[in-house]
Chain A
Amino acid sequence: MNTPAPDDTLLSAWIDGELPPERRAEVEAWLREHPDDAARVRAWSADARSLRSALDPVLDEAVPTALTQTVWRKAPAVLPDFAWRRWAAALALFVLGGAVGAGLMWRVQGNSAASPALASSGGWVQRAAVAHSVYVPEVRHPVEVKAQEEHLSRWLTRRLDVPVKLFDLREQGFELVGGRLLPDASGPSAQLMYQAITPPGAASAAAKPERVTVYLRKPDDATPAAFRYEQQGELGLFYWVEGKSANSGPTGYALVGALPRDKLLALAEAIYRQEPSRP
């Protein structure tokens, strides 16, 4: 072979896929013939992989609220405050679309319809509905971690940076199946899945068990938001944002299920009562 030895710059550029085809072929031919250089190049690639695996976990961290708020903050002194409010209200109307206003069952602390938490809720509530539809039909792998595993709550709490409590809905006829971690727009979210308790001896083989899911996330904004109901086809959704309290950060909740509204409401109330922020 009469091609000159590629220098380190060329070998490095080869790793990064920055060489034109003919140079690439030359370098590849050289590396086949020179195991020593090939080993060096492999070590460089391994270093790059280690760098990524050391820093990639940052991508999964929940985005600090301060950063999200920075993005939504209006430019100072450019617009009067009411314009921002109006903009947020318009967005709220837009994202909530056909949401039924009558779904306002009760109010949690002071709430403003124009709060950014609500304005941006349309997105995550939608994701809660999609996550429900994706995982509920699963027969063998409906959840990532089963309810019996005691670390479920700790694991989700740690990853979400909000307290994740495993709500007890047995009184309402539902038992916990387990939970999973899901990606949300600005960080991780969690889904808890519950299943209707089948009475012993009942012919359960035929019908699929009724399932509901609870979607939790760290909200973009700490502002508490009212309890709302939305109907999407056969799916009913109750969602709200619980504000920060002494022992927990703000948490966004969405309860999703193909149940009659009163039944779903009973579950939502049970969850609301059991929220970690409540004594």
Chain B
Amino acid sequence: MDAPTAFRQQLLGVIPRLRRYARSLVFDMHAADDLVQTALERALAHWHQFDQRRDILVWTISIAHNAYMDDRRRHARASLVEPSDGFDPDASQPAAGTDIGLQLDLVKALGRLSLEQREALLLVTLEQLSYAECAEVLRIPIGTVMSRVSRARIALRALLGDDGDGKGAMPPQGTLRRVV
């Protein structure tokens, strides 16, 4: 049986969030939309597997994640694209009052995180999934989500200019460090 209208409507509703997630993974708008397209096609093909008690966003993000991993495996031998090369600042206009330079640094830094850390960080901070939902998407234990997110934060901060050191150490003279 073909997917019912109500299900298609639900899918339409998550497209903007799927596009943002895909963009945060692959940066290039067209490649990201290709990923979204694949995810939508798979979701439609497996619509009967979707449990309506679940959040369709989490479900479709899982599908997008799997599609992305499949894609990476397929192109495992192809060289990785430097994320900032494909990132078009015009395609994603920064909100008024934000620093474009900072954002490009940020996107670049994001691209330098390991995929494991990047995905966990994005799902939790950008998509604002709970650790449990993130664990479901990535099919890893919640404890692993927790440590990946924290390591990603430290790594990102280090890439952005702060060494992120001072773990558990006493504050040096109690002075505030650079506040971003």
Chain A contacts to B: CB under 8 angstroms: 5, 7-9, 11-13, 16, 18, 34-37, 39-40, 42-44, 46-48, 50-61, 63-64, 66-68, 70-75, 78-79, 87, 91, 185-187
Contact = CB atoms under 8 A, between A and B. Distances in A.
Interface in B69-125: 91-95, 98, 102-103, 106-107, 110, 121-122, 124-125
A36 B24 contact: no
Interface residues of B, number: 66
B139 interface: no
Q: Is the interface of B mostly helix, strand, loop or mixed?
A: helix
A63 B23 contact: no
A92 to B, nearest CB: 12
B140 interface: no
B168 A7 contact: yes
Nearest to B151: A8
Contacts of B156: 47
A91 B5 CA distance: 9
B131 A47 contact: no
A39 B15 CA distance: 36
B80 to A, nearest CB: 20
23 contacts: A7-B167, A7-B168, A9-B146, A36-B176, A40-B164, A42-B180, A43-B157, A47-B106, A47-B180, A54-B106, A55-B92, A56-B20, A57-B94, A58-B19, A59-B16, A59-B17, A59-B19, A63-B15, A67-B19, A71-B40, A72-B8, A185-B13, A186-B15
Contacts of A9: 146-147, 150
B64 interface: no
Given A36-B170, A79-B2, 5 more contacts: A58-B23, A64-B33, A67-B33, A71-B12, A75-B3
Nearest to B98: A53
A43 B33 contact: no
B167 A8 contact: yes
B113 to A, nearest CB: 11
B126 A55 contact: yes
Contacts of A40: 157, 164, 166, 177
Contacts of A72: 8
Given A11-B150, A36-B172, A57 B160 contact: no
Contacts of B170: 36
Contacts of A5: 168
B125 A54 contact: no
Contact of A52 (B19, B36, B126, B168): B126
B100 to A, nearest CB: 9
B171 A34 contact: yes
Contacts of B41: 70
A47 B125 CA distance: 9
B45 interface: yes
From B122, B151, B153, B169, name the one whose CB has the most chain A CB atoms within 10 angstroms: B153
